[in-house]
Structure 1
Amino acid sequence: MMKLDGIAAFVATADAGSISEASRRLGLAKSVVGERLAELERGLGTTLIQRSTRRLSLTNSGQTLLPRAQRILREVAEAAAELAARTGRLAGPLRLSAPVSFGVLHLGPALARFLVDHPEIEVSLELDDSFVDAAAGGFDAVLRHGAVGDNRLIARRLATSRRLLVASRAYLDRCGCPATPTELERHKGVLYANREGDWRFAAPEGWSVIRPRACLRVNNGLVMRDAAVAGLGIALLPTFFVHEALRAGTLVEIDIGVEAEGAELFLAYPRDHGASAKIHALADSLRRSFGDPPYWDKAAD
């Protein structure tokens, strides 16, 4: 029979890559972690971790067990959190992922308020601009900018954001200010690398896509903003990236007579284990922190 402490030792060792580091993370003696691993292997009748003098590696059995063991620990933690929530107390780990730029600009203060209200929750936040697979990556929830096209996830809307065409005054003085979609196509654009046809604007017949000449393609909103401030070209960015630059005058909004497609922020979580009370509390807290309308749209106005 598998014991929970053995499963925890196995997952920690697999994640850490060594028994020494796993023991540090668990706050246990190295010998205790080693014995729990050995007991788990004896109970299962198979070797899970191949030990050598230089490194540890998972056997085929270990690779098969690891995702299930991670899910077991997560579900136990969620069950404990649900029971705690019934007493009005939220506690336990909460592993999150969010885009780098939005996390740097806006998540710090918002998460601080959440943790002040719920001091027994232990948040682990990973900032990553790649498309994080929440269902397979072991995250409790991920913050997404844009539609969540994954039927394994349930998404809760946190906030909306307008997207604006912006450029520096220096660029507009040098290259002129476009007043129509046709004029915009002749300008240089700072483009988001991970999304083709990103410049979408409302038109009588539906959405129209404008494709300017790219002076820079990059997968980070802050770099796009800074490139526009430096006068490299025109960028189409959510107000949560440019509201301070607009207020300071380092960027200017460009009006071409049609409105750009907006942006939305979602908190998404795997459908297979549902939303815990902690995720509901986090979503509610983030919505309150961002506001409705969000503070970045108010500042841009």
Structure 2
Amino acid sequence: MLKLDGLASFVVVAEAGSISEAARRLGLSKSVVSERLAEVERTLGAPLLHRTTRKLSLTEDGAAFLERAARIVREVEEAAADMAQRRGTLSGPLRVSAPVTFGRMHLGPALYPFLAQHPELELTLELDDRRVDAAADSFDAVVRHGALQDSRLVAWELAPSRRLLVAAPAYLERHGTPGSPQELQRHRGIFYVNRGAADWRLEGSQGVQVVRAGVGLRVNNGDVMRDAAVAGMGIALLPTFIAGDAIRSGALRVIDVGLRAAAESIYVAHPEGRRTSAKLRAFVQCLQKTFGTPPYWEALIPPCGAGGEG
């Protein structure tokens, strides 16, 4: 008879593409995962994986078996979680991906009380600014900032997000405070590298304007962008969840050129077709309640200005 732990190991190996990565995700040794796979194949009487020195790939039988096996594993995990919730507890694994800066500044602190309240919940939080494939990388959910780009995901908004043009007072004293898009393009900018060109896309009554500026720094981390702006290296377009404390303290000033960055959202998403588990619903509700509407990081920040990360 097939064992559930064997099915679960096969599903994770197939999704991870290697036994070593699957073992890391499962918190097991490679030898245990290998033995579980071998037992599943012996029980079924067919090989499920092609094994080479470089990678694993599914056999025709393995590909046919994977979809049902994954569905069985998810259903059992969700059923167990629902039963735990009926008893007033949440339990079992929950694997989430989130951006580095938002995870460090806001997500982690919001989740510590949640985890203390549900000690049987096994949360794996992986901070990574790349846009992971939630299904292929075996995440139950992803936390993202911006616009939802993958139609295969089902999303809930955690909080609205806006981005503001900001600079240090010392920088503005040296170079002047721009009051229009034309003046803005004469300044040095601090840009988020994954967004491509050295420009800001800002909106006004005439639609979207692309405002180009000189490059002071390109970097793929919001913390570094904020710190560079505080150090006087140029003007940055930053989310208030990153720049809020520096704006409130006076280390950064908001610049108003009559245009705003497009409104964005911070959201949680999970792959389409998966039933929403009780623990994921509780995770989302915890974050929504903690962040508030408007979110707490907006406190005392002026409503004017060009509103987000890079």
- Change in 2 beyond 3 A, CA 1:260/1:8: closer
Match of 1:296 in 2: 297
> Which has the larger displacement, 186-195 or 207-216?
207-216
| Matching residue of 1:169 | 169
Task: Tell me which residue corresponds to 1:132.
Answer: 132
1:58 aligns with 2:60: no
After superposing the two structures, state which structure 1 stretch, 189-198 or 289-298, moved more. 189-198
Q: 1:161 to 1:25 in 2, by over 3 A?
A: closer
Return the offset for 1:199.
2.5
Instruction: State the 1:196 CA deviation.
Output: 4.6
Q: Unmatched 5+ residue regions in structure 1?
A: none
In the other structure, the counterpart of 2:183 is 183
8 Å Cα contact 1:244/1:299 also seen in 2: no
- Tell me the SS of whatever aligns to 1:281: helix
Structure 1 residue 242 corresponds to structure 2 residue 243: yes
1:230-269 aligned at under 5 Å gives the runs: 230-269=231-270
Question: Could you say if the C-alpha distance between residues 69 and 175 of structure 1 is closer, same or farther in structure 2, counting changes exceeding 3 Å?
Answer: farther
Indicate conservation of the 8 Å contact 2:204/2:258, yes or no.
no
Q: Give % identity.
A: 54
**Structure 1 residues 300 and 58 mapped into 2: Cα distance closer, same or farther (>3 Å)?**
same
Q: CA deviation at 1:73?
A: 2.7
**What is the SS of the residue equivalent to 1:189?**
strand
**Alpha-carbon separation, structure 2, partners of 1:106 and 1:113:** 13
- 1:11-160 to structure 2, matched below 5 A, reads 17=19, 25-26=27-28, 35-48=35-48, 58=56, 60-61=58-59, 64=63, 69-70=69-70, 72-160=72-160
Does the CA-based 8 Å contact 1:162-1:297 persist in structure 2?
A: no
Q: 1:177 to 1:100 in 2, by over 3 A?
A: same
Which runs of 5 or more structure 2 residues have no equivalent in the other structure? 303-310
> When the two structures are aligned, how many residues end up with a matched partner?
296
Q: Quick check: 2:190–2:233 contact (8 Å CA) kept in 1?
A: yes
> What residue is the counterpart of 2:305 in the other structure?
none
Distance 1:59 1:158, change over 3 A: closer
Using the alignment, how far apart are the partners of 2:275 and 2:37 within structure 1?
30
Taking only aligned residues, the RMSD between alpha carbons, in angstroms, comes to 3.0
The superposition leaves residues 70-119 of structure 1 with CA deviations (integer Å, 9 ceiling, x where unpaired) of 55433321221123223433221111000011111111111112212322
- CA distance in 1: counterparts of 2:37 and 2:189, whole angstroms: 55
TM-score of the two chains, using structure 2 as the length reference: 0.83
- In the alignment, is the contact (CA less than 8 A) between 2:47 and 2:62 conserved in 1? no
